Amino acid sequence: MTEPPETTRSEANGRLRILFVTENDPLYVVRFFETFFAEYPRDELEICAITIDNAFHEPLTKTARRLWRVYGPVGFVRLGFKYLGAKLGGRSIGGLARKAGVKEMPTDSVNDPAYVQKVRDMEVDVIVSVAAPEIFRKDILESAKMRCINIHSGRLPKYRGMMPTFWQLLHGEKQATVTVHEMAVKLDAGDVLGTADFDLKERDCLDRVIVETKRLGAKLMIDVLRQIASGTDQPRTLDMSKKEYFSFPKKPDAKAFRKRGHRML
C-alpha cells in the first residue's frame, strides 16, 4: 500500500475539478460518457473540459485496416454500418459534452507544452483518461494538482495493453475486471484506485462485453472520483512481477477467439 500524495485540491467552489481526455468513438467509448454525464454528482465533481482525439491517434484508414484483420470482411462491414448508424444518429462524445455544458479543449497532442500549460492554468485537480489514444509523458502526468488517472477494461498487471476485453474472453476468464488506476510513465503500471468485475459467458459477444464494461466503468469512475474528492481513496501498489502486455489482436487471435465460441458482434 502506498501513501496518497499530498493534495492541493482547488477550493474555489468546493468541487473536484476534472479534465477528461478521450477518443472520438461513437460506438463504445461514448457509452462510458452516456452513463457518466447522466449520473455524476454535480455538487461534488466539476468537469472543466474534455479533449477528444482521433482513435489510436492515427488516420482512419490505418484504424480500418486493424479492424479488417480482426473482424474479417463480414464483421468489418457490419461494424461499419453500426458506426455509420451511430454517426447519422448524432451519437457522439462531443454532443454529450455540449448537452452537459462541458467545453471541448482540442489539441494535436496532450504532450504539447502549450496544452500542458493550459491544464495548469485551469487548476485541474484530476485528469481522467478514457481510452485516450496517446501515451502521456511526464509533464502532462504532473500537470494535475492531485492525480492523473486512467480506466482500463482489464485486470492489471495481467492484461496491460490494448483490447483487454478481447484477451480476457480469449483466455477463458470468468470475469472481466475493470480497473481505475493512477497513470505513470510506465504504461498501465500505476497504483490501483478501484476495480469492478463483469461476468463473462462461456460463449459471449465482444460487442456486448465492451458496451457493458464501459457502462460499469463509468459508475466505477464516479465512485473513485468521489473517494478522491473526500480524501478516502486508498491506492494499491501493483505487483509488476506478474505483468503481461497484449497488443492489438491479429487475424490468428481472432480465429482462436471464434474457435472458443465467442462472437465479435
pLDDT at 7: 45
Checking if the pLDDT of 12 tops 90, the result is no
Mean model confidence pLDDT for the chain: 92
Contact 86, 94 (CB under 8 A): no
**CA–CA distance, 200 with 65 (Å, rounded to integer):** 28
| pLDDT tens-digit readout, 204-262 | 999 999 999 999 999 999 999 999 999 999 999 988 888 899 999 999 999 999 999 99
Determine if the pTM surpasses 0.75. yes
Sequence-ordered list of residues with C-beta below 8 angstroms from that of 107, at least 6 positions apart, any chain: 51, 53, 114, 115
| pLDDT tens-digit readout, 117-137 | 999 999 999 999 999 989 999
Number of other residues whose CB lies within 10 A of the CB of residue 236: 13
- Identify the weakest region by mean pLDDT among 48-62, 87-101, 144-158: 48-62
Confidence label for 190 from pLDDT (cuts 50, 70 and 90): confident
Per this entry, what is the length of the chain?
Answer: 265
Phi, psi of 127 (to 5 degrees): -95, 130
Selected from 3.40.50.170, 3.30.390.30, 1.20.1250.20, 3.40.50.300, the CATH number assigned to the domain covering 16-259 reads 3.40.50.170
Checking if the pLDDT of 1 tops 50, the result is no
Q: What percent of the chain has pLDDT over 90?
A: 81
Average pLDDT over residues 33-42: 97
**CA–CA distance, 134 with 230 (Å, rounded to integer):** 30
- Identify the weakest region by mean pLDDT among 12-16, 61-65, 144-148: 12-16
Q: Residue 176: is it exposed, middle or buried by C-beta count within 10 angstroms (0-12/13-18/19+)?
A: buried
**C-alpha torsion sign, points 188, 32, 62, 67:** positive
Sequence-ordered list of residues with C-beta below 8 angstroms from that of 8, at least 6 positions apart, any chain: 145, 146
Sequence-ordered list of residues with C-beta below 8 angstroms from that of 235, at least 6 positions apart, any chain: 1, 2, 4, 182, 191, 192, 193
pLDDT at 185: 81
pLDDT at 114: 97
How far is C-alpha 90 from the chain's CA centre?
A: 21
In the chain, what are the domain boundaries?
A: 16-259
**CA–CA distance, 107 with 60 (Å, rounded to integer):** 18
Q: Residue 72: is it exposed, middle or buried by C-beta count within 10 angstroms (0-12/13-18/19+)?
A: middle
Checking if the pLDDT of 56 tops 80, the result is no
- Nearest in space to 107 (alpha carbons), one of 54, 28, 161: 54
